[in-house]
Structure 1
Amino acid sequence: MRCVPSCFQLDLSPSSSSSSFLPFLPLLNSHFYPARPSPNFTASALNSRTCFLFFAVSASSPSSSSSPSSHSSTPTKDIWRRSPLHKTTLSSSPYRHQSKQEPAYLDHSIDMDELLASIRQTQNEQQLYCLMSPYKGRQLSIRFMVSLLSREADWQRSLALLDWIHEEAMYSPSVFAYNVVLRNVLRAKQWVVAHGLFDEMRQRALAPDRYTYSTLITYFGKDRLFDSALSWLQKMEEDRVSGDLVLYSNLIELSRKLCDYSKAISIFSRLKSSGITPDLVAYYNTMIKIYGKSLEHEKATNLVQEMQSRGIEPNAITYSTIISIWGKAGKLDRAAILFQKLRTSGVEIDQVLYQTMIVAYERAGLVAHSKRLLHELKRPDNIPRDTAILILSRAGRIEEATWVFRQAFDAGEVKDISIFGCMIDLYSRNRKPANVIEVFEKMREAGYFPDSNVIALVLNAYGKLQEFEKADAVYREMQEEGCVFPDEVHFQMLGLYGAKKDLSKVNSLFERLELDPNINRRELYLVVASIYERANRLNEASRIMNRIGEERTLKTF
């Protein structure tokens, strides 16, 4: 049996009732380690046992199951066993062979939900084995047992159940059962145990399959144990288990997020040498970006050519990425030629492409070329006006964006609420409150309902224009229409009332907000106290600040 969690009590006495049906096996090296309690089991289950056997295949294996082990030697897992694992061979298997005639199983007569509920109430190994004893004669199919394992999320119970399957009921080892338990162990980040399960599969003459390796690589990778993930990839390749595009793509994306571009390129090379041919534009785009980050613009270019040679049409993201890479590499002539070819070839030029080219020109100091593109966007012939507005506003081109926006709005061509939001954000960033209000009024005229971020910017604009009554009207109107404000909008309105020196409205809104269970009361008190302090109403400010102390006292009790 495997490394039983400390919550499982092992009966190691010679009179154990279970010893009669266990095969006699030669002892391996054993070590004693203190038992570690599991949060899923009660302390009473630990009273009769303070240590457990760790049968180690390698004496150098680490004892902690909560951290990854070195990959220079294969680590083992803690094994909850009365006797150490026998290395299974095809000629000397300790398992009873199934009869040629398929037995009648009780699968359909057993309520799996009830059985699972009972398993989850067990506090130690003996209780679990006792619960499962009526099925010791393999009255349940291995398919049923694998389903049971897959629904038991607790990694320690699933390990114990796997041991019962093999050591008590004597089912033939199943790679499916191991894969399910391996998943549970990895979810719990029990890295050493995962290594041991893998070793045990091999010892039981089970060949790890694609799912086994994919699970190991994915979970080690997700926890940023990248070297470990790559070592599993190497084992997979050594075992000649074929990976798939999804597996390699996940590793490449992970390395990109970690900014480890050399590893991403290495994995990409391994993918291609394995015979897997990527057929996704998104996959190529990721690799082109990675080559750009690693300043290998020629390889990025070759990848675009490879796409085209395989009949995969690059999309706007591909082109904008390669244009950006060429611009940064000082190959602006190539970027400009490609951009011009795209414009004349009928390929749809989106906002990303235009913006990329504008930035490339500006970075190279070619201001005239940049202005020419911006001027073209004022009278866009080959792209929609809303796209031109997005390009200009995100490029910070206030004058050009304003001109196109007004023309498009008058022509009824502004159909997307994000255009209004983009323009309001542009004007707010550039401190043009009157323009913020202009776009907001057009937005309401068109029948669009603003979100809380837009409302905050609009209230701020009204405040800068000293138009407090209009700000109050918008605040009340939006509330009546059902808009749910974040705390910051309420606090902003309080600030506007304070700037107007309308303390009666400050007090009225404060009293209403104080009753709101969702409001951040501490921040509310600080905002209101500062308003009273600026108005030289120090007694009121002190009274409000005292409430913070009262709130803290109440929480203590």
Structure 2
Amino acid sequence: MKSLTRGKQHEIVEGLAHQMLDEKTELDNVTYSTIITCLKRCGRFGEAIGAGVTPDEVTYSAALDVYAKLGKREEVVGLYERARAGGWKPDAVAFAVLAKMFGEAGDYDGIQYVLREMRGLEVKPNLVVYNSLLEAMGKAGKPGLARSLFEEMVEEGLSPNEKTLTALIKIYGKARWSKDALQLWGRMRERNWPMDFILYNTLLSMCADLGLEEEAEELFEDMKKRRSGPRPDNWSYTAMINIYGSGGKPERALEMFDEMIHNKIEPNVMSCTCLIQCLAKVRRVKDAVKVFNTSLERGVRPDDRLCGCLLSVVALCEQEEIDMVLSCLEEANPRLVRFIEMLGDEETRFDEVKGELKGILNQASVEVRRPFCNCLIDICLNRGFPSQRAHEILYLGNLYGLYPGMHTKSSDEWSLNLRSLSVGAANTAFEEWIKSLSSSVENDEVLPQNFLIHTGSGTHRFSQGLPVAFASHLKKLAAPFRRDESRGGSFVAEREDVISWVQSRVGSSSVLAV
């Protein structure tokens, strides 16, 4: 049975078990544990639960693991506590199961429960348990506790492996603890701790997220100089392209891309997207198109994020460049190109726009739906499409729940949240908001004392530059909103000023034009 379990031959194992029962050979807990393990390895968790007899110290860990795989946390805790009440002393394997289960659920109280139980029973965690606990700390968002746990592990004489270090680097990166992450990297090199592709790339990705250009360059060169072990792969190059792209260094980003191709390392869709985004920002559209075509020749398959990136290029590029960008988008998503043509046609009815946009968004992954709408609004405005189109897209985006919390009203304050919008979408939303305010003023509605607009500080990748651009737009309109120094990326105005401004614009059709 043990040999068959390693080969995942659950049907033969079950057949042997039935043969034993037919021959009146009693199945003890060791046999049942073997059957449970086999079913578990074959992914037949439901059958594994019913496979055992009264668990003992042999079968408890296997049964706990099965319940945990099924996500039955209450059953796991109940079984564990019944076993403890019966005198069972769990081992490190059982605690690894508990730690992993609570970690995947991000259950901080559960993680603390595991730590208390281990310390109360004086069970020393092994490396597997520590790794499970560290991953759990990451999901629970507890970087300080993770650091303490890691130091405890090292003091106990256990050497971390690649999984340990990767988990800790991810935790530090997510918490933006760059200093701790870089100190850890120094210890890795000093103590010759193991480093693999995943660990190096995790460090590079963290540097990209935090804008640590010099540190990333040092890491990247360290990878290239290693005689053995991990050398830069396409994810390593992608991280470097992202770093240079985000830092406004298109030449260095292009050099990384060319070096990757020269070294016969195939680009991935993320490296292509990052580089096109970087080149588009500095209006190097021809280079962006060249990168797209080279990536396709190398086997890159465009995804929704790359399509969103191309949409943003369509919104930004000059008229003479539009055809070659649309030809790229045609390769990636022909339906988007047809929809752009629909939007530019005066004869297209609103219900046609609504039906086609709904179909496009349903086909797209959730994280790109709002960026798609933002870019489509920008295209409508920048390409001189019929004036109502941008407002139609914004209305439909609101209707489909892509801009939650945009409008907030209280007795003291009305606010407009533009933080997840592009520049064009923000201007369109502001225009709609002012129209609503004008209607309230005309109808003598009771208005609050304060009006507030949030643009954020420009760190979100879809709203970079929004505060500056929106401030310029307010100035152009002579709107009474001023920067709120106590809240970054916010603009405030008082009731009397807003009413006076709105009333002075009554009858002017061009004042709020975006």
TM-score bracket relative to the smaller structure? 0.3 to 0.5
Higher helix share: 2
Higher Cα Rg, which structure: 1
Output the TM-score relative to the length of structure 2: 0.47
The one of the two structures with greater contact order (alpha-carbon pairs below 8 A, sep at least 6) is 1
TM-score normalised by length of structure 1: 0.44
